[in-house]
Amino acid sequence: MEADAVLEWARVIVLFCCLSLAAKSDYSTLMVRDSHWLNWTTPSVLLLIIGLAVIETDPLNYCMAGALLATASLSIFDPPDLRKTTHWSREQIALAAVYSIGLVGLLGGAMTHADTDFIALVLGDESPETSLWWALLGAIVTMLFFIIAWRVRIIQGGADAKALILVTLIFPSWSFLPEPIFPSEGAIFSIPPSMAMFLWAGAAFLLVPPALFIQNATRGNISSFADLKMAWHSTRRPISEIRSDTSWLLTDVIENEGEKKVINRILPSRGPSSGKDAAAVLENLDSLGVQTAWVANKHPFLVYLFASIIPLVLFGDPVGIISSEI
């Protein structure tokens, strides 16, 4: 097996190990510590540098690896404050060095590759150094997209965004992955590997509603039209077993003309739905003799992202597959 192929599968193994541990933590606690992503950044960067050495690329692309790392760091660290250089910690000094190296890669590459023929670039006819520089620049843009999507709450979880950013660091472009086992022929468009994983994970998430409906039907949780509306996205659970830290309580108690009434919400209440508020609702339900309530589980997205490694390796880019059929 050639060195390129060894590195490609080594990256897949690193991603598999990283996301398996993250998915386990996300499933158990709905949280993944920043230290996890920092620990797995080391082998990811090491594989990136070794890969650049194997293809004997130019120094500017090594510097672009610094730009990638600097961009990824924005998900955890604030940029070093230039107004307080005399008070920088070792961590901030190291970050400043990475930023400086990355800036050399960005500015130097912009000047070197300013006359790129983009048609030749898309067709794969540009030089390897030029193609790689633009691929790494595209990876930086992809990372910034995930960071912005997280900040504006398109991506809800910080760990989800950090996972996608690490995927981008491991696989800046498709040339860093093994050839899909079942490749699509004639694809006219493709998206970055990390975005492809995001789409595969989303596709896996679409299997949840029918699975929940079947589960509720087999358990006898559907006895009315109101239950039918709830059965696609939630499950009925005994009051004593409900934990507000791992699920949203959808059954609520409201007062109407002095009388308490039990209702089921399609979506969680906009107010705080954990801690004292959830405990108070559960206490009210218990006092009314209600034994079970509808809850929506807080789905750990990293479990789906971990599972998306399989279709990524088997089929590659879902957008490429669709475009090949057009």
What residues have CB less than 8 Å from 291, skipping those under 6 apart? 238, 239
What value does the CA radius of gyration of the chain take, rounded to a whole number of Å?
24
pLDDT at 7 over 70: yes
User: Alpha carbon 54 to chain centroid distance?
Assistant: 29
Q: Six-digit token pair at 318?
A: 């879902």
pLDDT digits (tens, 9 = 90+) for 193-220: 999 999 999 998 888 899 999 999 999 9
Winning range, highest mean pLDDT, from 224-233, 284-293, 311-320:
311-320
Give pLDDT, residue 272.
43
Phi, psi of 247 (to 5 degrees): -155, 160
pLDDT digits (tens, 9 = 90+) for 227-286: 998 999 899 999 888 876 678 888 988 887 778 888 888 877 655 444 447 888 888 888
Give pLDDT, residue 270.
53
Domain ranges of the chain: 3-178, 185-326
Give 141-144's long-range contacts (Cβ < 8 A, gap of 24+): 142/168, 142/192, 142/194, 142/195, 143/68, 143/71, 143/72, 143/74, 143/75, 143/168, 143/169, 144/71
Residue 321 and residue 326: Cα distance in Å, rounded?
Answer: 9
pLDDT digits (tens, 9 = 90+) for 157-180: 899 999 999 999 999 999 999 999
Q: Which residue has the higher pLDDT, 228 or 40?
A: 40
Kindly indicate the confidence band of residue 1, based on its pLDDT and cuts at 50, 70 and 90. low
User: Alpha carbon 307 to chain centroid distance?
Assistant: 12
Q: For the chain, what is the mean pLDDT?
A: 90
Range with lowest mean pLDDT among 32-46, 47-61, 270-284? 270-284
pLDDT at 131 over 90: yes
| Mode of pairing for the β-strands spanning 251-256 and 247-249 | unpaired
| Mode of pairing for the β-strands spanning 292-297 and 259-264 | unpaired
Q: Six-digit token pair at 217?
A: 């039907």
pLDDT digits (tens, 9 = 90+) for 76-103: 999 988 888 888 999 999 999 999 999 9
